[in-house]
Amino acid sequence: MRIIKTLLGIYVVLVFIGCQEKAIKSTESNTGEEDNSTITQEQIDHLGITDVEHLSAASKRALAWPTDLGNEWFLEFNQLEPLKGDLAYEEGVIRRDPSAMIKEDGKYYVWYSKGVGPTQGFDGDIENEKVFPWDRCDIWYATSTDGITWKEEGIAVARGEKGAYDDRSVFTVEIMKHEDMYYLTYQTVKSPYNKRVKNQIGLAWSTSPNGPWIKSKEPILSPADNGIWEGDDPNDRFSVKKKGDFDSHKVHDPCILPFKGKFYLYYKGEQMGEEITFGGRQIRHGVAIADNPKGPYVKSPYNPISNSGHEICVWPYNGGIASLITTDGPEKNTIQWAEDGINFNIMASIPSPPHAIGLNRAVDSEKEPTEVLKWGLTHVYNSRDYQSIMRFTSRKKEKY
pLDDT digits (tens, 9 = 90+) for 9-53: 434 333 333 333 333 333 333 334 556 778 899 889 888 999 999
**234 DSSP 8-state letter:** T
Q: Structural domain boundaries of the chain?
A: 2-64, 75-396
- Among candidates 272, 190, 260, 174, which has minimal Cα distance to 231? 272
**Measured in whole angstroms, how far is the alpha carbon of residue 165 from the centre of its chain?**
24
pLDDT for residue 281 is more than 70? yes
pLDDT digits (tens, 9 = 90+) for 302-344: 999 999 999 999 999 999 999 999 999 999 999 999 999 999 9
CB-side exposure of 153: number of CA atoms within 13 Å? 18
**What pLDDT was estimated at residue 32?**
42
**Measured in whole angstroms, how far is the alpha carbon of residue 289 from the centre of its chain?**
17
DSSP states along 54-87: S--HHHHHHHHS-S---STT-EEE---EE-EETT
Mean per-residue pLDDT, 240-250: 97
Q: Given pLDDT bands bounded at 50, 70 and 90, which one contains residue 67? A: low
Mean per-residue pLDDT, 256-278: 95
Q: Does domain 75-396 have CATH number 2.115.10.20?
A: yes
**Measured in whole angstroms, how far is the alpha carbon of residue 99 from the centre of its chain?**
12
Q: Are strands 181-189 and 169-178 parallel, antiparallel or unpaired?
A: antiparallel
Question: What is the rounded distance in angstroms from the CA atom of residue 296 to the CA atom of residue 289?
Answer: 8
Question: What is the rounded distance in angstroms from the CA atom of residue 392 to the CA atom of residue 174?
Answer: 18
Q: Given pLDDT bands bounded at 50, 70 and 90, which one contains residue 400? A: low
Report the percentage of the chain scoring pLDDT > 90.
80
Report the percentage of the chain scoring pLDDT > 70.
89
pLDDT for residue 232 is more than 80? yes
- Note if the bond before 192 is cis, omega within 30 degrees: yes
pLDDT digits (tens, 9 = 90+) for 353-393: 999 999 999 999 999 999 999 999 999 999 999 999 999 99
Of the listed ranges 30-34, 48-52, 232-236, 296-300, the one predicted with least confidence: 30-34
Question: What is the rounded distance in angstroms from the CA atom of residue 305 to the CA atom of residue 285?
Answer: 6
pLDDT digits (tens, 9 = 90+) for 110-139: 999 999 999 999 988 888 999 999 999 999
